Amino acid sequence: MAKKKALGRGLSALLENAENISRPKPLEEGSIGNVAGSIAMLKISQIEANPFQPRNNFKKSPLEELSKSITEYGIIQPVTVRMIASARYQLISGERRFRASQLAGLTEIPAYIRKADDQTMLEMALVENIQREDLDAIEVAISYQRLIEECKLTQESLSNKIGKNRSTVTNYLRLLKLPAEIQIGIIEKEISMGHARALVSLTDGDFQLELFNRAIKEGLSVRQVEQLAKGKKSNSSQNNRPTLSFELQKKSDKLKSVFGSDTSLKLKDSGQGKIEIPFKSEAQLKEILVLLNL
Residue 38: closest CA among 89, 4, 97:
89
- The residues that bridge with 266 in the sheet, in sequence order, are 274
Report the sign of the C-alpha dihedral through residues 238, 241, 243, 247, in that order. negative
Helix (H) or strand (E) holding 153: none
Side chain identity at residue 55, one-letter code: R
d(CA 90, CA 80): 9
Alpha helices for 203-278 (secondary structure H): 205-218, 222-237, 246-259
d(CA 67, CA 180): 11
Residue 1: closest CA among 105, 72, 75, 66:
72
Residues marked as catalytic: 95
User: Are the CB atoms for 220 and 247 separated by under 8 Å?
Assistant: no
CA torsion 250-252-256-262 (nearest 10°) is: -140
User: Are the CB atoms for 249 and 219 separated by under 8 Å?
Assistant: no
CA 204 to chain CA mean position, Å? 15
Residues in the chain, total: 294
